Amino acid sequence: MTQIIEVGVPDIGDFKDVEVIEVLVKPGDRVEAESSLVTLESDKASMEIPSPRAGMVRELRIKVGDKVAEGSLILMLEADEATAVPQKVPPEPFAAAAAPAPTAKSPAGAVDVQTEVLVLGGGPGGYTAAFRAADLGKKVVLVERYPNLGGVCLNVGCIPSKALLHAARVITEAEEMAAHGIAFGKPAVDIGKLRGWKEAVIGRLTKGLAGLAKQRKVQVVQGVGRFESAGTIAVTGTDGKATRVGFEACIIAAGSSVARIPGFPYDDPRLIDSTGALALADIPQRLLVIGGGIIGLEMACVYDALGSKVTVVELMNQLIPGADADLVKPLAKRIERRYEKIYLGTKVTKLEAKPDGLYATLEGEGAPGMAERYDRVLLAAGRRPNGREIAAEKAGVAVDERGFIPVDAQQRTRVPHIYAIGDVCGEPMLAHKATHEAKVAAEVIAGHKAAFDAMTIPSVAYTDPELAWMGLTETEAKKQGVAYEKASFPWAASGRALSIGRDEGATKLLYDPGTRRILGAGIVGVNAGELIAELVLALELGADMEDIGLTIHPHPTLSETSNFAAELAQGTITDLYLPKKK
């Protein structure tokens, strides 16, 4: 079913009389939801106006040179049914909440500290929000339960894992050079020193954050914060004393915690989570990793390089289930060779602690008939948001059944002066999403017309090889029925990949068959995490295959593979032979 709708200029901030400099569609054109319709240019910026729905352009109502403002009619669209752009609008609990959202901003009763903005949680979301709000002139209190700022990311997440992954890469690269004539011998791992180096990296960063908070006069209050009302939070310190902080606006940045599988022996120190794995207590002889997602495989990569015999169990039929299967393949192939065993479509039904190890019973295709013994078991089966642990209900803030706090595009919860950002407000649980949302929330509080409107949030597995993707994946395109074409450049034809002995990678671009604009990209190979950024920018700027193909990339680099993939799409590639179409 179709429906004729008027498509107008959305909220474009304070701009009025903005000139139309380009009309990108004509009557009869098919447009996808979010594809650009017109380009406007003010004296400060140019912006593209996306289509709110997929459908066919019936009639244009503007032309180049016209001056428009919010609400001006752009075109009439024959919209497909149910193709509205997925908005970051809060689901059920938000809209359906029976009680009206509290609006009282002033605290009931006396407070110990009164502030304009209270940020609950000092992770990458929280400290970024606090610093941005302070830079915008707000008086800010930042509440964090631990002595160090930085949250999961700096202390037990992104940073320590990448330090250890760097060590792993050096070990495996040195090992693999033996085949090319340079043998270093078996590495002598001083685990204490390695741990010390990792701690020093964290220390430098967290110390830096404390300094940045001080420079901005952000008051850090240490303790566990819980809402008392829609205007106060009680912060309980390690001495048990509570500090009541009153706020005008609050940003919840309470993050997430490790998800647990019930019935496992959690009091046994041999059962660890990612924090335990990063603590690097020892190098277990046999390590079982439960969960073949990003965190599990990154840790597996570290322990494999350090000498553990690693087994991975994944419930789904694919490692890193969010990524396209063709991109996961080179990673799977490499680790199948290196690891003791990888079980897909399998679950651990029982984990029993015995004096000589942890015994895991597996269920699924190819699972061993008997319980297997491991020296350590790493549980990496996901993370859960901390929304239920802050007494959100006392402030009237809705929390969904999984523990997420629903927010709108301005990061607002159902209580208009309370915002939520980062892991606690939704997937994907990634630090760069948290920091981006943090700035939006702080800017909205400071009166700016900000909103979270990023076109994509890239994902990276810093495994060996790395795996990175952004925008639309092929799996999603097929599921959603989005028309696409793809070009996949094999790294076996990249001079740089060959010269570093790592030619198993691939760079894949998905693009719109009509406009040839990039829709998504995936890279598997060394440094894929660095390489994907260019393609994120391409998507944000609406680049097409010609733009990427004609952009001169330095030679010989792995970055050329994006260029080559675009040339493949354009049929202009010379680094591969494409048979002529008959």
By CB under 6 A, name the one of 102, 122, 276, 465 that touches ligand FAD. Answer: 122
Query: Which stretch in 14-22, 146-154, 404-412, 566-574 sits in contact with ligand FAD by CB under 6 A?
Result: 146-154
Beta carbon nearer to ligand FAD, 160 or 357: 160
Position 296 contacts ligand FAD (CB under 6 A): no
For residue 387, the tally of other CB atoms under 10 A from its CB is 25
Q: Which stretch of DSSP H or E encloses residue 210?
A: helix 191-215
State the nearest-atom distance from the C-beta of 404 to ligand FAD, in Å: 11
Find out whether 130 and 218 touch, Cβ atoms under 8 Å: yes
Beta carbon nearer to ligand FAD, 12 or 445: 445
For residue 337, count CB atoms less than 10 angstroms from its CB and return exposed for 0-12, middle for 13-18, buried for 19 or more. exposed
Find out whether 413 and 407 touch, Cβ atoms under 8 Å: yes
Position 121 contacts ligand FAD (CB under 6 A): yes
Position 152 contacts ligand FAD (CB under 6 A): yes
- Give the x/- contact pattern for ligand FAD in 441-480, rule: CB under 6 A: ---------------------x------------------
State the nearest-atom distance from the C-beta of 49 to ligand FAD, in Å: 30
Query: Which stretch in 30-38, 69-77, 95-103, 251-259 sits in contact with ligand FAD by CB under 6 A?
Result: 251-259
CA distance 356 to 76: 72
State the nearest-atom distance from the C-beta of 512 to ligand FAD, in Å: 28
The CB-based long-range contact list for 414-418 (8 Å cut-off, 24+ gap) reads: 414/90, 414/93, 414/94, 414/97, 414/101, 415/101, 415/102, 415/103, 415/230, 416/101, 416/103, 417/103, 417/105, 417/230, 417/248, 417/249, 417/250, 418/230, 418/249, 418/250, 418/251, 418/252
CA distance 546 to 549: 5
417 is catalytic: no
State the nearest-atom distance from the C-beta of 345 to ligand FAD, in Å: 24
Query: Which stretch in 145-153, 169-177, 363-371, 489-497 sits in contact with ligand FAD by CB under 6 A?
Result: 145-153
Position 206 contacts ligand FAD (CB under 6 A): no
State the nearest-atom distance from the C-beta of 131 to ligand FAD, in Å: 13
Q: What is the DSSP string of 266-318?
A: TTSTTEE-HHHHHHT----SEEEEE--SHHHHHHHHHHHHHT-EEEEE-SSSS
Q: What is the DSSP string of 41-85?
A: E-SS-EEEEEPSS-EEEEEE---TT-EE-TT-EEEEEEEETT---
Residues 314-353 within binding reach of ligand FAD (CB under 6 A): none
State the nearest-atom distance from the C-beta of 437 to ligand FAD, in Å: 8
Beta carbon nearer to ligand FAD, 230 or 573: 230
Instruction: Give how far Cα 357 sits from Cα of 3, 268, 273, 280, 372, Å.
Output: 64, 10, 16, 18, 9
DSSP class of 344: S
Position 390 contacts ligand FAD (CB under 6 A): yes
For residue 391, count CB atoms less than 10 angstroms from its CB and return exposed for 0-12, middle for 13-18, buried for 19 or more. middle
Beta carbon nearer to ligand FAD, 55 or 276: 276
State the nearest-atom distance from the C-beta of 388 to ligand FAD, in Å: 11
- For 188-283, strand residue ranges (E) read 219-222, 224-227, 232-236, 242-252, 256-258, 271-272
Position 536 contacts ligand FAD (CB under 6 A): no
Please give the radius of gyration of the chain, using alpha carbons only, rounded to the nearest integer: 26
Strand partners, 360: 351, 372
Position 394 contacts ligand FAD (CB under 6 A): no
Beta carbon nearer to ligand FAD, 52 or 387: 387
State the nearest-atom distance from the C-beta of 2 to ligand FAD, in Å: 40
CA distance 207 to 579: 58
Position 422 contacts ligand FAD (CB under 6 A): yes
Active-site residue, selected from the candidate residues 417, 436, 553, 555: 555
Number of residues that bind ligand FAD (CB under 6 A): 37
Position 209 contacts ligand FAD (CB under 6 A): no
- Give the x/- contact pattern for ligand FAD in 424-443, rule: CB under 6 A: -----xxxx-x---------
By CB under 6 A, name the one of 35, 114, 219, 274 that touches ligand FAD. Answer: 274
Interface positions with ligand FAD (CB under 6 A): 120-126, 143-146, 151-153, 157-158, 161, 224-226, 253-256, 274, 295, 386, 389-390, 422-423, 429-432, 434, 462
Active site residues: 555
